[in-house]
């Protein structure tokens, strides 16, 4: 389970990208993070795996607290977090197979990783994962020969071969056409169910977020202002997320005040 507790990110400029954000992701649920540009969606994903260092707060993956790990410990723990990037983050001159196998580098010695000395089991697993994501037969193609949808599938395969405890996905459909976007979301859903791992997705397309997610988290100006089932994301909630309005904390405070008033009147 992923547990984010009161995470803040303040940049050197003084900008607060995240403001005491807390949330959980568990089981094999798919959680979509939505919000306007600059809301802190990508910052949250990057803080979770410490590509960006949070200023304060705690990030737990099962029994491991991420923010206190040394560089060596972090390298080991990142094996449990499969990261799928918006810009694919592939090595263009390498083959599809080589890019996928790079997901196993965290399990190898420094010398074997440097030599890219993958064992036969890893190679067999990579072939099976490529079959799962629909890339069987293109193992030896260079990454720069692929379409955008194919590149994203390579990125997914690279994350899956890590055998992660969670998939962190940053804008997986932003560079794709609508049809390919649906195919990628179908694939992520399939992996979550079959591999029994949760998926946390930062996504701009609200329709895709609600169609595929079990739960939706809405950010606005670095704050969590909505959290609920996909079918609870009504127009009022969208207005709070995208056009400002009452935050979740304000709503909770108002509800508590109303309850106190009701109790006093009894």
Domain boundaries, given as residue ranges, for the chain? 2-265
**Model pLDDT, residue 249:** 57
Token code pair at residue 148: 């955008």
What pTM does this model have?
0.86
Q: What are phi and psi of 14, to 5 degrees?
A: 95, -10
pLDDT in tens, the chain (266 residues): 999 999 999 999 999 999 999 999 999 999 999 999 999 999 999 999 999 999 999 999 999 999 989 988 998 899 999 999 888 889 999 999 999 999 988 877 777 777 777 888 999 999 999 999 999 999 999 999 999 999 999 999 999 999 999 999 999 988 889 999 999 999 999 999 999 999 999 999 999 999 999 999 999 999 999 999 999 999 999 999 998 766 555 666 766 777 777 777 66
Q: Which fold has domain 2-265?
A: Rossmann fold (3.40.50)
Q: How far is 220 from 35, CA to CA, in rounded Å?
A: 6
44 and 18 Cβ atoms separated by less than 8 Å:
yes
CA angle, 55 as apex, 54 and 59 as ends, to 5°? 45
Question: Measuring CA to CA, which residue among 107, 128, 104, 121 is closest to residue 191?
Answer: 128
Residue in the block written with tokens 């190898």: 108
How far apart CA 230 and CA 68 sit, in angstroms, is 33
Instruction: Tell me the three-class secondary structure of the chain, residue by residue.
Output: CEEEEEEEEECCCCCEEEEEEEEEECCCCEEEEECCCCCCHHHHHHHHCCCCCCCEEEEEECCEEHHHCCHHHHHHHHHHEEEECCCCCCCCCCEHHHHHHHHHHHHCCHHHHHHCCCCHHHHHHHHHHHHHCCCCCCCCCEHHHCCHHHHHHHHHHHHHCCCCCEEEEECCCCCCCHHHHHHHHHHHHHHHHHHCCCEEEECCCHHHHHHHCCEEEEEECCEEEEEEEHHHCCHHHHHHHHHCCCCHHHHHHHHHHHHHHHHHHC
Please report the pLDDT score of residue 243 as a whole number. Answer: 86
The predicted pLDDT at position 266 comes to 62
């Amino acid at each position: 389970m992923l547990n984010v507790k009161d995470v803040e990110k303040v940049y050197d400029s003084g900008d607060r990208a995240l403001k005491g954000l807390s949330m959980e992701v568990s089981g094999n649920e798919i959680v979509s993070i939505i919000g306007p540009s600059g809301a802190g969606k990508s910052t949250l994903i990057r803080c979770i795996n410490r590509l960006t260092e949070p200023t304060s707060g705690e990030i737990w993956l099962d029994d491991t607290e991420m923010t206190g790990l040394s560089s060596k410990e972090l390298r080991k723990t990142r094996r449990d977090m499969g990261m799928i990037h918006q810009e694919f983050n592939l090595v263009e001159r390498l083959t599809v197979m080589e890019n996928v196998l790079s997901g196993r580098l965290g399990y190898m010695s420094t010398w074997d990783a440097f030599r890219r000395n993958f064992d036969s089991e890893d190679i067999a697993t990579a072939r099976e994962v490529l079959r799962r994501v629909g890339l069987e037969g293109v193992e030896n193609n260079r990454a720069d020969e692929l379409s955008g949808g194919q590149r994203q599938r390579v990125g997914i395969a690279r994350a899956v071969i890590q055998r992660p405890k969670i998939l962190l996905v940053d804008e997986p459909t932003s560079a794709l056409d609508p049809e390919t976007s649906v195919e990628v979301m179908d694939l992520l859903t399939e992996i979550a169910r079959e591999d029994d791992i949760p998926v946390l997705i930062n996504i701009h397309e609200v329709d895709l977020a609600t169609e595929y997610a079990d739960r939706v988290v809405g950010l606005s100006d670095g704050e969590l202002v909505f959290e609920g089932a996909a079918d609870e994301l009504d127009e009022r909630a969208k207005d709070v997320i995208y056009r400002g309005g009452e935050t979740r904390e304000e709503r909770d405070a108002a509800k508590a005040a109303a309850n106190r008033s009701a109790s006093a009147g009894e």
